[in-house]
């Protein structure tokens, strides 16, 4: 994993975990974190893209392990989230969604 991008991810994760929905500029902060995560996704080298081992044969275990999203899927998801944050008042669910995307790289 690229050390500089991992450091950015750690910083973004800490910012998200410490951000309160009542904080000033909450929406702007979430948008900025979304933009920074989009930068990380773009800059992440293809050869270091996170992978998971093949799913087990048992259907129940396979359901517990979602497939690894592609770079394009993650970027599309981040762009949609950024549009939502521009048009609506953000909810805690949006903050949690960003945290889930950050944890993908863990």
- List pLDDT tens digits, range 12-40: 999 999 999 888 888 899 999 999 999 99
pTM above 0.95?
Answer: no
Contact yes or no for 13/99 (Cβ under 8 A): yes
Could you tell me the pLDDT band of residue 86, with boundaries at 50, 70 and 90?
A: confident
Please report where in the chains the tokens 């259907």 appear, as a residue: 59
Give the relative orientation of helices 3-18 and 26-43 as an angle to the nearest 10 degrees. 160
* CA distance readout (Å), 89 to 15, 23, 46: 19, 13, 34
Report which of 33, 28, 42, 39 is spatially closest to residue 14, judged by C-alpha positions.
Answer: 33
């Amino acid at each position: 994993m690229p050390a500089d991008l991992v450091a950015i991810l750690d910083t973004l994760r800490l910012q998200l975990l410490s951000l309160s929905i009542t904080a000033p500029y909450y929406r702007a902060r979430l948008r900025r974190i979304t933009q920074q995560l989009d930068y990380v996704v773009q800059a992440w080298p293809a050869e270091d893209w996170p992978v998971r081992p093949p799913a087990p044969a048992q259907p129940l275990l396979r359901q517990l392990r979602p497939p690894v999203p592609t770079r394009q899927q993650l970027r599309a998801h981040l762009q949609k989230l950024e549009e939502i944050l521009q048009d609506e008042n953000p909810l805690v669910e949006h903050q949690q969604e960003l945290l889930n995307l950050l944890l993908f790289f863990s």
